[in-house]
Amino acid sequence: MKKDIIRQEQLVSELNKKGKLTIHQVTELLRVSESTARRIIIELEERKLLLRCFGGIQSLPTAGVEYSFDVNKNQMETEKMAIGQRAAGLVQDFDGIFLSAGSTVKQMACAIQKRLIDKDLKDITVITNSMAVLEILSNYCNIMIVGGVYRKKSQDVVGSLAEKNMNSMRFHKAFIGTVSVDVKEGLMTLDMEINSIMEVAISRAREVYVLADSSKFDKTAFTRYAMAEEVTAVITDSGLEPERVQRYTDIGASVIIAEL
């Protein structure tokens, strides 16, 4: 038992340093078999000290930590690309869509750009509070940036002016990011300003899609903007195991899996 505790502490310490580890890295670090490594991982996940993801494990971000676009854009990049491509496929000709800030939504903007270049999509209008989205799509479609206060670290625009402008619009579809997804607590973010933007976007859209890689499930953040069952669908990657997907469908949430 004492040996298991030492191994668990060693694994959590290394994971907190690196953010993500493969199963192979875990077996090498702990010098154990793959089956033993998986047992230790399951025990730590049950204690909410880490999260299993595609091919390995992911650390849990601390609630209340300030969001950084530059830091988050390099985490779960393959998964975010798959989610972005799947979400971009839901956009139709002549749609007016809202794209929130966030690294996964940025990947969606890249996929939309490719569709526009390939003439697979035409005449869409994009409304966004993301400077990254603006940069990616400004030369390829009609685009509007909501006014407000620019935040350099998160590369977004927030505040009462942004909310007022959005409240005067209607969107066919809204595609928004999230920090966490939980069965009981819902869809959550790290601060009240972006939380308010999400609430307005949801209220002004016919369909709402939340883009969340599998590392964001079954944990909480600071403030909730909606329940998972209140949006059209949550789009995630195939790292979310079927039994975990079932927990969300059981409460009436729709989960779309983007295959890697």
Digit-coded pLDDT (tens) for 139-152: 999 999 999 999 98
pLDDT per position as a tens digit, 220-255: 887 899 999 999 999 999 999 999 999 999 999 999
pLDDT per position as a tens digit, 211-223: 999 999 998 887 8
Core vs surface per residue 233-256: b (16+ CB within 10 A) or e: bbbbbebbeeebbeebeeeebebb
pLDDT per position as a tens digit, 12-58: 878 877 778 899 999 999 999 999 999 999 888 877 778 787 678 87
| pLDDT value for 69 | 53
Count of H-run helices and E-run strands, the chain: 10, 15
Domains along the chain? 2-58 (1.10.10.10), 69-258 (3.40.50.1360)
Q: For 174-188, what is the mean pLDDT?
A: 94
| pLDDT value for 60 | 63
- Reduce the DSSP state of residue 85 to 3 states and report it: helix
Q: C-alpha distances in angstroms, 119 versus 83, 93, 225? A: 21, 10, 35
Q: For 164-175, what is the mean pLDDT?
A: 97
Give the pLDDT band (50/70/90) at residue 64: very low
Element (H, E) at 249: helix 242-249
CB 258 within 8 A of CB 235: yes
Q: In whole numbers, what is the pLDDT of the chain averaged over residues?
A: 90
Radius of gyration of the chain (CA): 19
Element (H, E) at 71: helix 69-72
pLDDT per position as a tens digit, 149-162: 999 888 999 999 99
Per-residue pLDDT at 193 exceeds 70: yes
Per-residue pLDDT at 74 exceeds 80: no
